Amino acid sequence: MCRLAAYLGPPRALSDVIIAPSHSLIAQSQEAQEAKLSVNGDGFGIAWYGAHPEPGLYKDILPAWSDSNLLSLCRHISAPLFLAHVRASTEGETARANCHPFTHGPWSFMHNGQTGSFMALRRRLEALLPDELYALRRGSTDSELLFLLLLNAGLAEHPGRACRDVISLLTDTAEAIGVPPFFRQTCVFSDGQSLFCFRYASDGRCPTLYVSRGFADGGLVVASEPLDGACDHWAEVPPNRLVRFDRATERAFDLRAA
């Protein structure tokens, strides 16, 4: 299982989340504590927002802890909003195109989870994409396909409805081809203004995700595991909800609603 982290608030060096904390994302890439796989060494990526509507993007197939370019960039780049991901592959080879985050226009997206029977589902799901979105597909992961399905479902206009519709689509497609609908999804994504998070699992066992407004002064952090250990200022992002975080507010949408 992958590990991820994101920040929203006053401009802050990426290293404050990715490198410096005692249980930073780099530390989690080597020794995760709340994942099936403790080592996440199948690539990494960062997306950050600055002077342009679309995010900057850097990703590679090296383990995050061994890429000196990543360590240098994180110390020198400050941003009011950024996403970071370290990968332990379950679907798709170790390739740059399969590393998160995935981006399109102002959107950036990263994922931790499992799509059961993905190889059986893949062709049906890809066929539902219009040509312009299918042409954006660069890798072979369920994560990238999930992002494109969300965009097609109207992510920009109605994020909560899009997430609900794609969960229903996955379930309906699995049932239509006669495979068990088994999905465990934790997703974090942004349009450059807000930070969106959701956790959903068909068996109720969602991959972990925590949020804190106390870890970074004046900012909000979400992470697969608390960056400074178990502390009162971390809370679990609730399951079966899409939560939209802005700099001072948050709103939740029920993913199980009709």
Question: Nearest Cα to 26, choosing from 60, 80, 63, 76?
Answer: 63
Q: Is 2 a catalytic residue?
A: yes
Q: How many Cα neighbours within 13 Å face the side chain of 142?
A: 23
- Active-site option among 2, 74, 187, 206: 2
Question: Nearest Cα to 116, choosing from 167, 178, 181, 185?
Answer: 181
- Are 126 and 73 a contacting pair, CB within 8 Å? no
Question: Nearest Cα to 94, choosing from 162, 55, 156, 42?
Answer: 42
At 20, list the tokens.
């410096």
Residues serving a catalytic function are 2
